[in-house]
A and B are shown apart, each in its own frame.
Chain A
Amino acid sequence: DVKVTQSSRYLVKRTGEKVFLECVQDMDHENMFWYRQDPGLGLRLIYFSYDVKMKEKGDIPEGYSVSREKKERFSLILESASTNQTSMYLCASSFSLAGGTGELFFGEGSRLTVL
């Protein structure tokens, strides 16, 4: 079975701290994604990556950065956490289809609280 593992299920951080959210997939997927999920807003795309060392901005990249040094690992970084970044963060990976994106495999999520 495909497994997408997020390093922490629950984190509590203070305003201004640097936060790292790690995600590892074991299926050799080209594509990896970071979303945040907030009640009533669904999932919003923060960043995605189609290859090692490659990244693309999603719909809400402000306040976030990412790193993909190895194919299996995609990290989300909050340089200076703020209270409005309190959210559930979901990592996902997929193969590419001819002409599109294949099904996403999601991790269990990391619930971040910024105090």
Chain B
Amino acid sequence: SQQGEEDPQALSIQEGENATMNCSYKTSINNLQWYRQNSGRGLVHLILIRSNEREKHSGRLRVTLDTSKKSSSLLITASRAADTASYFCATDLLGGKLQFGAGTQVVVTP
């Protein structure tokens, strides 16, 4: 079974709007990571948040982590057409496995 599950499965927004996606997981983690995948390509790392951190920023990205609720969110502010991609959360489990969810497909229209 998958550890991380993203919500929503798909998201369609216009340029300039914010995009928010969520990730829930089931067991204790070392850290949680977010990745982006453009169609047919490999994944690219966006941000890593450790289990003792609550919020992290990187450019237009903001990630939160709530370990009591076993959930994380990724916010992309002022979205651009180039942000169109699939976004995945990955949980680094105690014991070393890094497990991915099924992803959120984001489409940003001009």
Cα A100 to Cα B92 in complex, Å, equals 7
Q: Contact at A106–B43, with CB atoms within 8 Å?
A: yes
Q: Contact at A48–B45, with CB atoms within 8 Å?
A: no
Chain B: how many interface residues by the 8 Å CB criterion? 24
Which of B12-20, B64-72, B99-107 binds A? Answer: B99-107
The A interface, classified by DSSP as helix, strand, loop or mixed, is strand
Q: Contact at B102–A103, with CB atoms within 8 Å?
A: no
Cβ–Cβ < 8 Å partners of A42 in chain B: 2, 88, 100-103
Cα A92 to Cα B97 in complex, Å, equals 13
Question: In whole Å, how far is A97's beta carbon from the nearest beta carbon of chain B?
Answer: 7
Question: In whole Å, how far is A55's beta carbon from the nearest beta carbon of chain B?
Answer: 12
Q: Contact at B31–A101, with CB atoms within 8 Å?
A: yes
Cα A39 to Cα B44 in complex, Å, equals 18
Question: In whole Å, how far is A16's beta carbon from the nearest beta carbon of chain B?
Answer: 28
Interface membership of A59, Cβ < 8 A: yes
- 10 residue pairs of the A-B complex, CB under 8 angstroms, read A42-B102, A45-B99, A45-B100, A58-B97, A59-B97, A59-B99, A101-B96, A104-B33, A106-B42, A106-B44
Interface residues of A (CB under 8 A from B): 4, 33, 35, 40-45, 48, 50, 56, 58-59, 90, 92, 94, 97, 99-109
